[in-house]
Amino acid sequence: GAGVSQSPSNKVTEKGKDVELRCDPISGHTALYWYRQSLGQGLEFLIYFQGNSAPDKSGLPSDRFSAERTGGSVSTLTIQRTQQEDSAVYLCASSSSRDLRSYGYTFGSGTRLTVV
Amino acid sequence: ILNVEQSPQSLHVQEGDSTNFTCSFPSSNFYALHWYRWETAKSPEALFVMTLNGDEKKKGRISATLNTKEGYSYLYIKGSQPEDSATYLCAFLSGNTGKLIFGQGTTLQVKP
């Protein structure tokens, strides 16, 4: 596609429910990233996929969070048993290269998650 | 833990004013420094990717400088316009980790 597409754009869920957030990166981009921004905080790294390599999951805040990337393209971030502190804007980004010395990220427009 | 600090947290200026913000990052194992602009209801957009000490990059009225030895970068906006109102994010790449660590951003509001 022309850009990074995220869905849904907004999601309100009840505490304890599971949610799935979707990211469709730019075609051909090998690297895909998930970040989140909680109220008053900076962008927090969650997980990074690069090609067929094992993902870097070092930023996932708890085992309630998981992500997968199917066929090197679309990624799904799953949050199980949501808590109020999970409320945030979840941003996906992709990059054409592992070389972040030359290229920046292309971001999606985000999913605003509200847990009530 | 890698810390990327940005200051000020927010800034209000009048149209036509010039302004600048600071990004501080660890000076060891530096690979790259990125600047992004994030306008309300839009996606963050890459402004600059900087790698060399002393680098200076320019895009229109916006420019950035880089000092890797002391671990800081400045972003300058000359003659601010209301359309410059946004949050400006810097992000640090440490080693070849493949991922960026972001600061908390500087939110700029330009009043007409």
Residue A98 has pLDDT above 70, yes or no: no
What letter would DSSP give residue A78?
E
Structure tokens at A90: 């979840």
Tokens 């941003």 correspond to: A91
Q: Which residues of chain A are within 8 Å of residue B93 when distances are taken between CB atoms?
A: 100-101
Q: Which residues of chain A are within 8 Å of residue B42 when distances are taken between CB atoms?
A: 109
Taking CA–CA distances from B34, the nearest residue in chain A reads A104
Each residue's pLDDT, cut to its tens digit, for chain B (112 residues) gives 678 999 999 999 999 999 999 999 998 889 999 999 999 989 999 999 999 999 999 999 999 999 999 999 999 999 999 999 999 999 999 887 888 999 999 999 999 9
Mean pLDDT (whole number) for A73-89: 97
- At residue A1 the predicted structure's pLDDT band, cuts being 50, 70 and 90, is low
Structure tokens at B6: 């940005």
- At residue A77 the predicted structure's pLDDT band, cuts being 50, 70 and 90, is very high
What letter would DSSP give residue A40?
T
d(CA A47, CA B107): 26
Residues 6+ apart with CB under 8 A from A12: A114, A116
Cβ of B98 within 8 Å of Cβ of A56? The answer is yes
